[in-house]
């Protein structure tokens, strides 16, 4: 099932992420279980790419491999031109589901955490994380602890933490899944604003088709396990995106096409 609408990009000097012939199996109760099958994809620098697919299709696994947190059984996976043998905060920042902030650290200290790990001088840590706090719209909330923040605010802190080391690539694993619909929309919009101000390459995993179309330059649709890429859909909506676009026919058609592909792939 090859994608019938392959878009050829003008290839830049070096893609931010390059995956070729990637396979992954894991040891199950009854022998090896194939999880990802022959994944090939290219993400150009500065693009916003969204991965969608049914539950358990391996999209989170794929993202964790891009983060260097898991290793593929075979195939190539390069980020910024180099394989991900181990997590590398200089290349990749990760934003997890459910924020995963450290509850014993203030918002500002959570943001500074990656800098603290590498022993950045305190003054620089403070300056840099305050800058990120402002970028994500939380000016004045630095001293708050996670339990004093709303779900949306926690994810803002989490995004700030992902950006604090200024990595070229930001990986996001269903970051807004636990938020209510309204907050989720706002956060999507905010994310696009932050993205446009930082020009990162983003790979974003989600279950929400609306979110996928609203955010993405390109949507990659994965099949049920073993996960394969079954379609690659370019979203031609102009930027900056607005809420009104969700009501347009183009939006509905794109969303519908993703939905059809997911159903076929199940």
Partner 1 sequence: MTRFQIIAIRLLLLALVLAAWETLPRNNIVNPMLLPPLTDVLKTLIQIVQRAQVQEAILVTAAEVIVAFIIAVPLGALIGVLIAEYEYAGQIFKPLLFYVFSVPKSIFLPMFILIMGIGFQQKVAYAAFSTLFVVIMSATAAVESVKADHVLVARSYGATRMQILTRVYVPSMMPILLETLRISMIFNFTGVMIAEMYASRTGIGHLIANWGENFQLPQLFAGVILLAAVAITFNEAVRFLENRVSAWRT
Q: Of 242, 241, 202, 200, which Cα lies nearest the Cα of 218?
A: 202
Please report how close the Cβ of residue 143 comes to partner 1 at its closest, in angstroms. 13
Rounded to a whole number of angstroms, the minimum distance from the CB of residue 68 to partner 1 is 8
Q: Which is nearer to partner 1, 98 or 190 (CB)?
A: 98
Question: What does the block give as tokens for 162?
Answer: 């992902």
CA 195/CA 6 separation, integer angstroms:
25
> What CA–CA distance (Å, rounded) separates 86 from 67?
8
Q: How far is the CB of 118 from partner 1 (least distance, A)?
A: 7
Shortest CB 152 distance to partner 1, Å: 19
Work out how close the CB of 93 gets to partner 1 at its nearest, in angstroms, rounded to a whole number. 8
Nearer to partner 1, 161 or 228 (CB): 161
Residues in CB range of 58: below 8 A, 6 or more apart = 24, 35, 36, 222, 225, 226, 227
Shorter beta-carbon distance to partner 1: residue 114 or 227: 114
Point out which residues bind partner 1 (CB under 8 A): 67-69, 86-89, 92, 94, 96, 98, 100, 102-104, 113-114, 116-118, 145-147, 165
Q: For residues 96 and 214, which CB has a smaller minimum distance to partner 1 in the complex?
A: 96
Cβ at position 213, least distance to partner 1 in Å = 28
Distance CA 200, CA 195 (A): 6
Torsion angles phi and psi, residue 86, rounded to 5: -150, 165
Q: Which CB, 113 or 141, lies closer to partner 1?
A: 113
Q: Rank residues 13 and 86 by Cβ distance to partner 1 and give the closer one.
A: 86
Which tokens go with 59? 């999209």
């Amino acid at each position: 099932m090859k994608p019938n609408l392959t878009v050829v990009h003008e290839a830049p000097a070096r893609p931010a992420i390059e995956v070729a012939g990637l396979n992954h199996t894991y040891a199950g109760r009854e022998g090896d279980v194939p999880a990802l099958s022959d994944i090939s994809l290219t993400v150009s620098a500065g693009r916003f790419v969204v991965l969608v697919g049914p539950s358990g299709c391996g999209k989170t696994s794929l993202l964790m491999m891009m983060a260097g947190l898991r290793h593929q059984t075979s195939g190539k996976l390069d980020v910024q031109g180099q394989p991900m043998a181990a997590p590398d905060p200089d290349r990749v920042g990760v934003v997890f589901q459910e924020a995963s902030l450290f509850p014993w650290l203030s918002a500002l200290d959570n943001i500074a955490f990656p800098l603290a790990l590498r022993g950045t001088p305190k003054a620089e840590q403070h300056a840099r994380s305050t800058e990120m706090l402002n970028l994500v719209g939380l000016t004045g909330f630095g001293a708050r602890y996670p339990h004093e923040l709303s779900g949306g605010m926690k994810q803002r802190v989490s995004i700030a933490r992902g950006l604090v080391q200024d990595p070229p690539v930001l990986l996001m694993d269903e970051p807004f899944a636990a938020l209510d619909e309204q907050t989720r929309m706002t956060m999507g919009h905010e994310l696009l604003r932050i993205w446009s101000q930082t020009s990162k390459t983003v790979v974003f995993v989600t279950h929400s088709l609306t979110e996928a179309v609203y955010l993405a330059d390109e949507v990659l649709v994965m099949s049920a396990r073993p996960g394969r890429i079954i379609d690659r859909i370019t979203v031609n909506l102009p930027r900056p995106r607005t809420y009104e676009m969700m009501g347009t026919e183009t939006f509905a058609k794109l969303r519908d096409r993703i939905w059809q592909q997911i159903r076929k792939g199940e």
